[in-house]
Amino acid sequence: MTDRTNNFPPLPSFLKIKPCFYQNIEEEIPAPHQQLVRKVYILWMMYSGTLCMNVISCLAWWAGGGSATNFGISLLWLVLFSPCSYTCWFRPLYKAFRADSSFNFMTFFFIFFLQCIFALIQTIGISGWGTSGWIATVMFFSYNVGSAIVMLITAVLFTLVTMLMGLVLLRVHRLYRGGGGSFERAQEEWSTGAWKSAPVREAGFNAVTQTAQGPSLPQYPTAVPSYPDNSHW
């Protein structure tokens, strides 16, 4: 595993800051779940894009006569939640499917549930919270129609992202329970320390084979437990 080079986030080579994670869905995630993990990754990008659009909307809100506080808080949400959402709920889900880790599944469920609640609050759009959701948008139509239209785009995006997050939460929970996962398994991983030992959880790698082109990367075994997939999302 020492031959692997971190590749996420993709950064220009001239920067001294290097990528923090190694991500390769085709290589590390069992084939039946690659599509789901890929869709959750796209959902993370959609949420980050919505936060970017929210900054633009709050700027239009400010330009139309709104408070500058909303614009400042929207920048905070972008800087804080864009990277934290990746590390706090996408990575646990990625590692959960990669190594069949109940602890990581439970981490994902807990944090992603809180994320869904926060996304719902952002969709509602309480004034002073730095999000141009529905309440703020509808009320601002009487002050500045142009700014309110820009805000409306963000409100629609927040609504779409929140709905997709709810579907993902239900989908992953159904797969986890259908595969025999439980809170007791997560407690067992916690008590034994297996949750923090990647070599233990991923000890099923095949040996590296030597070819004329040099050594290849170790591959994950096909014996990784597979969760049932009875429907498409």
The per-residue pLDDT for 12 is 81
What pLDDT sits at residue 199? 44
The pLDDT score that the predictor gives to residue 8 is 87
Place of tokens 């869904």: 116
Q: Is 113 within 8 Å of 120 (Cβ atoms)?
A: no
Weakly modelled stretches of the chain, pLDDT under 50: 1-2, 183, 190, 195, 198-224, 231
pLDDT digits (tens, 9 = 90+) for 25-53: 999 998 989 999 999 999 999 999 999 99
Peptide bond into 9 cis (omega under 30): yes
Measured at the CA of 229, the angle between CA 224 and CA 233, to 5 degrees, comes to: 125
Question: For position 1, what pLDDT does the model report?
Answer: 45
Give the model's pLDDT for residue 40.
Answer: 96
Phi, psi of 211 (to 5 degrees): -125, 175
- Asked if 28 contacts 220 with a C-beta cutoff of 8 angstroms, the reply is yes
Please give the pLDDT value at position 195: 44
pLDDT in the model for residue 100 = 81
Query: Residue 103: what pLDDT?
Result: 87
User: What pLDDT shows up at residue 5?
Assistant: 85
First vs last C-alpha separation in the chain: 33
Distance CA 100, CA 92 (A): 11
What pLDDT, on a 0 to 100 scale, did the predictor assign at position 136? 93
